Amino acid sequence: MTLSGTGKTYASAFAMRELGFKRVLFLVHRGQLARQTKKSYEKVFSKSVSMGLVGAGYHDYDSDYIFATVQTLNRDEHLFKYGPNEFDCIVLDEAHHVPADTYQKIMKHFTPRLWLGMTATPDKRDDNIEGRNVYALFNYQIAYEIRLQKAMEDDLLCPFHYFGITDLEMIGDESDNPIEFSRLTSTERVKHILEQAKYYGFSGDRVKGLIFCRTIDESRVLSEKINTCINPDTGRHYRTIALNGDASEEKRQEAFERLAVNEDDMAVAAGKIEPLDYILSVEILNEGVDIIEINQVIMLRPTQSPIVFIQQLGRGLRKAEGKEFTVILDFIANYNKNFNIPIALSGDRTYNKDNIRRYVNEGDRVIPGASTVHFDEISRKRIYESIDKANFSDIKLIRDNYTNLKNKLGHIPALKDFDDYGEMDVVRIFDNNSLGSYYKFLVKYEKDYQIRLSDDQDQVIEFVSKKLASGKRIHELEMLKRILAYAHKFVTGGLFAGLAKSLQDYNKTVSLEQQQNIINVMTNEFPAGSGKNTYSKCVFLEKDKEDYKPSKSFLEMLQDTDFYNVLQELIDFGISRYNRDYSNCYENTNLVLYQKYTYEDVCRLLNWENNEVPLNIGGYKYDKKTRTFPVFINYDKEEDISDTTKYEDHFINNRTLIAISKSGRSLDSEDVQNFLFCRERGISVELFVRKNKDDKISKEFYFLGHMKPSGMKKVFTMPNTDKTAVEIEWYLDQPVRDDIYEYIVNG
């Protein structure tokens, strides 16, 4: 099980009880955790089994359930008290440490019926090294995995209120710079941190907080400076300590106890213990700290990794009596990887820039339940800048995500594995200009991959990857599936006759316009201009009397078993994507509301005979044969649109849009007349909007449905020209969904 605070200990106890194991060894890495775990197990088992500790003066070797530290049991005088088959199950807490020699000595000694590892951080940087992969050491068997969103939805964690707030303007990534360090620990920054901590507050009688710093020196200097400041809630100086890797076990336990204790505790009254307001640390608080009373977490470092971010946030999410919520304060400065924050909070690992921008803007919609997410204006701007600069089709990012998944599975991942395990959207690989297909990625970067295709076969795989495998329409995928069956003589007859039968399973039909569009797509007649040369070998069909059959060249390719299998996997992946994302089509279209489409997607899915290059579309392009008129709008507004004399396309509300015709138009212009009388003339006007036209990776528009003119129109002369244009007010058939509308207009 993964994710801090989700009850891994209790889950393991219930599992042991359910499995009926008589003897169990539970190993932790700190003595206090052994005692805490024993107490948790006692609540589940009551007195049905005997429980004891080994180590720190305890020698309960003969108990049914034994709790010990790895450091203790690693010693021969304790380890050899037991035979290899002594235990039914051995539970390893913080199991990402099992590659260490101390753990390995124990694992090589015992042969229990079950090894159960529990960790919030199974993925590590050295997983690709022989003997260091945690998944491999547990035979790639994942019993259960839970992430933040699911844990919050199931009410396993305490609600939290996250605030992304602005750090000082001069703080950046260069933490090893002496000038930068002086800024990190300046009196001005200390004042800023404490003011924000006071303003956003906490749940409970007093603050019990953790502060995560980026360096040990920073944690020490900040602690010293904070301790010179007066806490306005108590009227006395703040009480903090820096706690890092050199702290002894005894010092750590003392600090945790001081942080958790209440002011009215007898030990405090007697002067035996002084409470702490904050513990400052770099990394040792990332794991194995079970201070359920923590009610405020302050982050003062760049978020380099979504995994570490969730670890640190999770320190404050354990439920405790009297704690209604936890406050998370994230001081966001000019960091290059600020985009990791919305990725971590949303749990979305697809690395789609538009999605990440939406998560920043949506805030409260990201996390289920009573939790909230809020970014102040400057923090939001800094994250947007970070997203804009990031290259999410960067080969290093792709390789890192691929390697993580391979380490988890123990073999080369299939395409669908990326979806099944919630990893990077594999379409990022298709979008990478130097790759174009998963096959090409494996050839280039996976030494164990042996398949090699011809250049023509490679071109077909790239075409299907880039054009069809996203699953935006089922027709071509089912046609390819039928051709594969045809090649093996599983089916005979005309392809379109058979396709019509296959599409019945999807409640789809094939109109004449659609049939011609599919033929053009699959015979390389659809591309415009030089686009025909790019995939000249991708001719899948040829005429056969009144129908079509597979082309001779494509059937020859399919005789190669490797090519057949690679293509089969790609088709199956595309069909699964269609079923997941694109099956719920809008009215009589092949489009799905709020899904995103490129210019080329729209031309294809509206059944145009040929693609149109974006320059020719220019926001508006009418197709006479299909009587479709898509409207493309770049809604990238730098200022609030209140002065309509700017003559820009803009929403009045979530159902009303002002759109401007092409320049040089009057009320009598043909395209304007087609707009104004679209319903009378049987013309379907579709609206497509994108937020950030300068995003070089994502070239997609949100589909927002049909629209019709309200009747309000106005001719005007465009600024700085003598050309006229027409302003038309439109009504959308369906109001734009609140979160999409808010993102487009205000994001």
Beta bridge mates, 334: 172
* Domain range list for the chain: 8-146, 153-333+341-347+362-374, 451-582, 596-746
Whether the per-residue pLDDT at 380 is higher than 90: the answer is no
Helices (H), 261-376: 266-269, 306-314, 340-346, 353-362
Question: Could you write out the three-class secondary structure of 533-547?
Answer: HHCCCCCCEEEECCE
Q: Tell me which DSSP letter residue 583 carries.
A: S
CB atoms within 10 A of CB 83: 10
Question: Buried b vs exposed e over 175-206: b needs ≥16 C-beta within 10 Å?
Answer: beeeeebebbbbeebbebbbebbeebebbbeb
Rounded CA separation 300/213 (Å): 5
Residue 422: the pLDDT is 80
Rounded CA separation 113/186 (Å): 56
Residue 741 structure tokens: 């509308």
Whether the per-residue pLDDT at 354 is higher than 90: the answer is no
Rounded CA separation 640/659 (Å): 16
Rounded CA separation 101/597 (Å): 52
Name the residue type at position 659: A
Indicate the helix (H) or strand (E) that contains 214: none
Taking phi over 0 as left and psi of -120 to 50 as alpha, with beta for the rest, 662 belongs to beta
Residue 57: the pLDDT is 83
- With cut-offs at 50, 70 and 90, classify the pLDDT of residue 47: confident
Please, are residues 45 and 22 in contact by the beta-carbon 8 Å criterion? no
Residues 6+ apart with CB under 8 A from 645: none
Rounded CA separation 344/357 (Å): 13
Residue 637: the pLDDT is 56
Rounded CA separation 668/423 (Å): 53
Average pLDDT value for the chain: 87
Residue 104: the pLDDT is 92
Question: Could you write out the three-class secondary structure of 622-642?
Answer: CECCCCEEEEEEECCCCCCCC
Quick: pLDDT tens for 662-690: 889 999 999 999 999 999 999 999 999 99
Quick: pLDDT tens for 236-261: 999 999 998 888 878 888 888 899 88
Residue 520 structure tokens: 């053009």
CATH superfamily, region 153-333+341-347+362-374: P-loop containing nucleotide triphosphate hydrolases (3.40.50.300)
Phi, psi of 274 (to 5 degrees): -110, 125
Residue 642: the pLDDT is 43
Q: Which fold has domain 596-746?
A: PUA domain-like (2.30.280)
Please, are residues 44 and 13 in contact by the beta-carbon 8 Å criterion? yes
Instruction: Give the mean model confidence (pLDDT) for residues 453-477.
Output: 97
Rounded CA separation 379/360 (Å): 10
**Better pLDDT: 698 or 444:** 444
State what percent of residues in the chain have pLDDT above 70: 92
Rounded CA separation 734/704 (Å): 8
Quick: pLDDT tens for 65-81: 999 999 899 999 999 99
Taking phi over 0 as left and psi of -120 to 50 as alpha, with beta for the rest, 135 belongs to alpha
Whether the per-residue pLDDT at 149 is higher than 80: the answer is no
Quick: pLDDT tens for 103-138: 999 999 999 999 999 887 676 555 556 667 888 888
**488: Cα separation from own chain's centroid:** 40
Whether the per-residue pLDDT at 11 is higher than 90: the answer is no
Instruction: Give the mean model confidence (pLDDT) for residues 366-383.
Output: 84
Query: What does DSSP say about strands 51-55 and 58-59: parallel, antiparallel, or unpaired?
Result: antiparallel
* C-alpha radius of gyration, the chain, whole number: 31
Helices (H), 390-474: 395-409, 415-420, 427-431, 438-445, 455-463
DSSP per-residue letters across 8-69: HHHHHHHHHHHHT-S-EEEEESSHHHHHHHHHHHHHHHTTSS-EEEEETTEE-TT-SEEEEE
Residue 650: the pLDDT is 92
Rounded CA separation 374/171 (Å): 21
DSSP per-residue letters across 313-335: HHTT----TT---EEEEEEE-B-
Residue 135: the pLDDT is 84
3-state helix, strand, coil in the chain (%, to 5): 40, 15, 45
What is the sign, positive or negative, of the torsion defined by CA atoms of 469, 471, 472, 474? positive
Rounded CA separation 547/484 (Å): 17
Please, are residues 54 and 63 in contact by the beta-carbon 8 Å criterion? no
CATH architecture of 8-146: 3-Layer(aba) Sandwich (3.40)
Please, are residues 44 and 17 in contact by the beta-carbon 8 Å criterion? yes
* Fold match flag (153-333+341-347+362-374 vs 596-746): no
Quick: pLDDT tens for 275-285: 999 999 987 66
Rounded CA separation 520/611 (Å): 10
Residue 302: the pLDDT is 86
Quick: pLDDT tens for 391-401: 887 888 899 88
CB atoms within 10 A of CB 574: 27
Instruction: Give the mean model confidence (pLDDT) for residues 5-30.
Output: 85
Residue 335: the pLDDT is 83
Residue 637 structure tokens: 């507004």
CA triplet 49, 53, 59: central angle to 5 degrees? 110
Rounded CA separation 122/1 (Å): 9
Number of alpha helices (DSSP H) and beta strands (DSSP E) in the chain: 31, 24
Residue 645: the pLDDT is 40
pTM of the full predicted structure? 0.80
Instruction: Give the mean model confidence (pLDDT) for residues 647-674.
Output: 92
How many angstroms separate the Cα of 66 from the Cα of each of 30, 43, 55, 82, 369? Answer: 14, 15, 10, 12, 38
Instruction: Give the mean model confidence (pLDDT) for residues 314-338.
Output: 87
Whether the per-residue pLDDT at 629 is higher than 90: the answer is yes
Q: Look-up: residue for tokens 């360090």?
A: 181
Whether the per-residue pLDDT at 489 is higher than 50: the answer is yes
Whether the per-residue pLDDT at 728 is higher than 80: the answer is yes
Rounded CA separation 599/597 (Å): 7
Rounded CA separation 103/97 (Å): 7
Beta bridge mates, 731: 656, 708
First to last CA, the chain: 36
CB atoms within 10 A of CB 694: 7
Length of the chain: 747
